[in-house]
Structure 1
């Protein structure tokens, strides 16, 4: 359970389905950058995962189609100097991305028409504005 990635209370990715790769990171760290494998690449195979129900898999694949490579979501983290902090950052980022992709779409907007009173007020305002402009045009200013 400690390695599991909790996306939502009902959607948990088992740690056995996550793949971590470590490599040398660019960025802060000085000489340690050349020796420590602090960069983390965290991968999750969304298309073939047994943890994702079919109806949710379809929604996630559709929402993440630009980020997936052959159905696999890969997140890299190299902003911290330590491998442990990068692992935590990658897991948090993956959880956030999966949570957003699994969220239900917003309800469709039902088009509405203005009420009769709103239409009448709009026309009255337009007439009042037109009369104001008409009065301004009437005078000889020279």
Structure 2
């Protein structure tokens, strides 16, 4: 994947997730953090929130080839380091010296905002930590 195609992929992916969030409220708890690697693939971590990995895989696989691998929370730091290591992240003209131009970060909607919008209250009713999954 080139820099231009990655830029286009970021926009398409953000629009896709925003559309899914409007269609199904469970998608509002999904977070995606991805980086372009030197071999032209995209690697990252996705917080599934309330969705099952099969739902995410079915949605993404219809547009892009996707592989999801579950990881334990204690392994998250090592997995992220392996993804964002300088020898793995894509470099080249136009990318600059920072990772911002070669990453995509879509944060989950804050739970207290979701509850305030749906019930008029501003305090969260429950807490559910998303399980990180590598994509």
TM-score, normalising length: structure 2: 0.26
Larger radius of gyration: 1
Of structures 1 and 2, the one with the larger relative CO (CA 8 A, separation 6+) is 2
TM-score, normalising length: structure 1: 0.25
